[in-house]
Structure formats: C-alpha cells, structure tokens
Structure 1
Amino acid sequence: MSLPKPLMRGLLARRLKFQLPMAFAASFLVAYGYKFLVSDPRKRAYAEFYKTYDPVKEFDRMREAGVFESVRPIGE
C-alpha cells in the first residue's frame, strides 16, 4: 500500500482562500484592540494631565531645584 501523491497544483491558491481572509481579520482585530485598549486611554490621560498643567509654575519649580545651569534662582 502506497501513500497518495499530494496535490501540488493550485496549492497556493487553495491555501490563500482561507489564510488571506483570516490574516486580514486578525490584523483588523489587533488594530481595533490597540485603539480601544491603548490609544484611547493614553489620549484621555494626556488630556487630563494638560487640563491642570501650568508650564510657568513647572519652570519655576525646576529653576528653584537647580535643574537649569543657565538660569539662576531669583535672589542669587
């Protein structure tokens, strides 16, 4: 008893009929998952941070801490 020969003619076309739609579906699922689980929460966090952020106050705090070499604290 011998094994039947594999059908090689049209093998790529047969495989792509199933694998290509599955690849597109998986990529869309990953893209939407990333959008809703990573991108949107990150945008909300940045928006919340910048609602109360005062750059002048932050600059003064860093200047007083001595972060900048070219800017001396007031009173020196």
Structure 2
Amino acid sequence: MSTGLLAKPQMRGLLAKRLRFHLIGAFTVSLGVAIMYKFGVAEPRKRAYAEFYKNYDAMKEFEAMREAGIFQSARPKGK
C-alpha cells in the first residue's frame, strides 16, 4: 500500500503575500482610472470651459435676462 505524501499548505505569511498582491493590483487599477478620468473627462471639460468663456460677454447675457424679466430687482429698459 503506497501512500503519497501531500505537500503542506502554506499557512505562515499567506496573508502578507495575498495582501501585497492585492495592494499592488488595487494601486494599479486606481492609477489607471485616475489617468483615464483626467484625459477622458477633466481635460475636455477644461477645453470646453475655455472655449465658452473666450467669447462670453457677461453684460450681454445680463441684458438678455433682464429683458426676459428673470430678475425681480432689475426692470427692463423703458418700463
């Protein structure tokens, strides 16, 4: 009767080994998501705001809103 010996399972240091693996993976994934957010969302948003405010005239917008009667304290001209 031949009984094969099984290798002992690794118990000592198992948690540290698995934590190291998962921490490296989590750091890599979070860094990738941050980079994708920066170049996929933040940079296009900055460009869109810069383009919008390049030709924005605040007084023209105010006059249009005042003529539309949005403000209670600013009456339209001529009234």
TM category, shorter: 0.7 to 0.9
> Is residue 70 of structure 1 aligned with residue 77 of structure 2?
no
Q: What percent of counterpart residues are identical?
A: 64
TM, length-normalised to structure 2: 0.84
Unaligned runs of 5+ in 1: none
Stretch moving more, 57-66 or 5-14:
5-14
CA RMSD of superposed structures (Å): 1.5
Greater C-alpha radius of gyration: 2
Deviations, residues 39-61 of structure 1 (Å, cap 9, x unaligned): 00000000000001000000000
Aligned length: 73
> Is residue 46 of structure 1 aligned with residue 49 of structure 2?
yes
Amino acid of the residue matched to residue 28 of structure 2? A
TM, length-normalised to structure 1: 0.87
Report deviation, 1:18: 1.2
Report deviation, 1:20: 1.0
